Amino acid sequence: MSLIRPTAALLSLALLGACTSYRVTYDYNAAAPYARYKTFDYYTSKKGTGGTTSLMDKRVRAAVERELQTKGFAMETKADPDFLVTYYPIVEEKRYRTTTHIGWGWGYRPMYGRMGTSLSEVHRYQEGTIVIEIVDFKSNQMIWQGAAAGALTGLSNPEDADEVVPRAVRDILAKFPPR
């Protein structure tokens, strides 16, 4: 019995890690002049990356750049760009609780009895999200934001990250620019 609980917990974490599903959300300013945008650059921010490594930061940056260029936008580093892009690969610790009820009973009415107990455990895992924000260069106002919640969850090796990050960035930027 004592071996079943840790095995079940490890199995559930392994299954959680094997899932590369994520939820994409986005929001935008409908009044922004999206048809006018042709060039972009990166917005420099003091915000941290929420515990991700510089390697993950490089993966996200490369995927964002590749996806925007695929959509026809050109990177502009010498002159003023039309819009600025910022991104945040964020990793947060999450928790969930499992409860197991164990019991047994005997007898018939009026003579019966039962005995039982419940065991609760708190499990921890890392949830990773990619957030991409687009800011109009002239007005310095955010015009578009998208996120893939859970995209960086369960990435146990570099090969997984190299596969999932570009797909998540492509899914995030699928609705940019809005029509």
In a domain, 4, yes or no: no
How does pLDDT run across 23-73, given as a tens digit for each residue? 999 999 999 999 999 999 988 644 444 444 578 888 889 999 999 999 999
In a domain, 105, yes or no: no
User: What CA–CA distance (Å, rounded) separates 133 from 29?
Assistant: 12
How does pLDDT run across 131-152, given as a tens digit for each residue? 999 999 999 999 999 999 988 8
Residue 85 · residue 64 · CB < 8 Å: yes
Compute the half-sphere exposure of residue 144: CA atoms within 13 Å on the CB side of its CA: 23
CATH of the domain at 137: 3.30.160.670
The whole-chain average pLDDT of the chain stands at 81
For 43, counting Cβ atoms within 10 Å of its Cβ (0-12 exposed, 13-18 middle, 19+ buried), the class is middle
Q: Is the pLDDT of residue 5 over 70?
A: no
In a domain, 15, yes or no: no
In a domain, 13, yes or no: no
In a domain, 104, yes or no: no
Q: Where are the alpha helices (DSSP H) in 19-78?
A: 54-70
Q: What is the mean pLDDT of residues 80-84?
A: 94
- Name the percent of the chain lying above pLDDT 90: 40
Please report the pLDDT score of residue 150 as a whole number.
Answer: 87
Q: What is the mean pLDDT of residues 8-36?
A: 72
**Bridging pattern class, strands 39-42 and 83-108:** parallel
pTM score:
0.70
Which domain, by its residues, includes 55?
21-96+125-175
In a domain, 12, yes or no: no
**Bridging pattern class, strands 142-149 and 111-136:** antiparallel
Q: Is the pLDDT of residue 15 over 50?
A: no
In a domain, 6, yes or no: no
Q: Is the pLDDT of residue 8 over 90?
A: no
User: What CA–CA distance (Å, rounded) separates 27 from 144?
Assistant: 6
User: What CA–CA distance (Å, rounded) separates 179 from 175?
Assistant: 8
Please report the pLDDT score of residue 10 as a whole number.
Answer: 45
Q: Is the pLDDT of residue 83 over 80?
A: yes
In a domain, 106, yes or no: no
Total number of domains constituting the chain? 1
